[in-house]
Amino acid sequence: MIGKYVKADQAQLAMPNAGFTELMAAVLHKGAPFRFQAAGFSMTPFIRSGDVITIAPAPARIRIGDVVAFELPSSGKLVIHRIVRVSSDGYIIKGDNSPESDADVPGSRILGRVARVERRGKRVRLGSGIERVAVAFLSRRGWLTPIVRTAWRFARPFVKRTS
């Protein structure tokens, strides 16, 4: 059923951010994972626009390096970013490709944790394993994007592209 929150757009269904956030929160509250297509570039290169991400209910313990879905305290907007530091007021969260971190985010605003990322039907693991702590450190310092760009410049001629 297409109603007040969901609008049909040919092959896709679009939902306003507030309705989408409510739906995700309700599904996660029931203990079920929530899967959707990411939009935006703030988590590039680990999550790209068009990737399919699965959000699992938030674990009891959120760790540095975890990628989480949360509501921005100032606007209620849904965001998917990485925990880069724990603060006295909650968590400092930042997009891997964002120059600035988000405001302190209380734990009550965290809806869930990214459990899986898929790109063109294949699972993307880089950035979600043990290396997530190093990624969080580099992101917090603002070094991640320059390092990835430089590495890509050198690796690009050797990478076989598939469509």
Asked whether residue 86 is assigned to any structural domain, the reply reads: yes
Q: Answer yes or no: is pLDDT of 54 > 90.
A: yes
Per the model's pLDDT, the better-predicted residue between 65 and 146 turns out to be 65
Asked whether residue 156 is assigned to any structural domain, the reply reads: no
Asked whether residue 60 is assigned to any structural domain, the reply reads: yes
pLDDT of residue 45: 80
Instruction: Give pTM, 2 decimals.
Output: 0.75
Per-residue confidence band for 126, with pLDDT thresholds at 50, 70 and 90: low
**Full residue range of the structural domain in which residue 144 is found:** 7-151
For the stretch 106-116, pLDDT in tens is: 999 999 999 99
pLDDT of residue 157: 73
pLDDT of residue 101: 84
Peptide bond before residue 45 is cis, with ω within 30 degrees of 0: yes
Domain count, the chain: 1
Asked whether residue 1 is assigned to any structural domain, the reply reads: no
For the stretch 59-84, pLDDT in tens is: 888 888 899 999 887 787 889 999 98
Q: What is the mean pLDDT of residues 39-51?
A: 87
Q: Which two tokens stand for residue 156?
A: 């690009």
Asked whether residue 31 is assigned to any structural domain, the reply reads: yes
pLDDT of residue 56: 95
Asked whether residue 163 is assigned to any structural domain, the reply reads: no
**Angle ∠(117,123,128) on CA atoms, nearest 5:** 55
Asked whether residue 158 is assigned to any structural domain, the reply reads: no
Asked whether residue 95 is assigned to any structural domain, the reply reads: yes
Within 10 Å of residue 106's Cβ, how many Cβ atoms? Answer: 14
CATH of the domain at 146: 2.10.109.10
